[in-house]
Amino acid sequence: MSSPAPFNEELWFAIAEPSRRKIIEVLLLKGEATASRLADDVPFSRQAVSKHIAVLKRAGLVKERKTGKEVRFRLSPEGLSVAAQELSRAAMLWDERLQKIKHIAETLPQEE
């Protein structure tokens, strides 16, 4: 039996932080925003937004588009698809583990 492919560490690191999940949520609702606009919608500074955006970009979850002097950020559909697949795979692995635990528990001798 071969071992499963390793998890996408960069993706898990990116989505593990609640502040980055908040940025994802805001971008889902707004579609696209500058770092300054994002900072208006989250409880942390524009500088922190920029740092979190950099992590999300490295994980492939956010893309940027330059319009003049302005940089606008949006979610990457491809990145979100990869994230959904990764989360689905993790859920499947946990379900398999829980089934094994259940099987072990059911086959243990019962005390009367």
Reported as a single tens digit per residue, the pLDDT across 1-36 is 455 666 788 999 999 999 999 999 999 999 999 999
Per-residue pLDDT tens digits for 43-58: 999 999 999 999 999 9
First-to-final CA distance of the chain: 38
CATH of 12-107, one of 3.20.20.150, 1.10.630.10, 3.40.605.10, 1.10.10.10: 1.10.10.10
CA–CA separation, 30 and 24 (whole Å) = 10
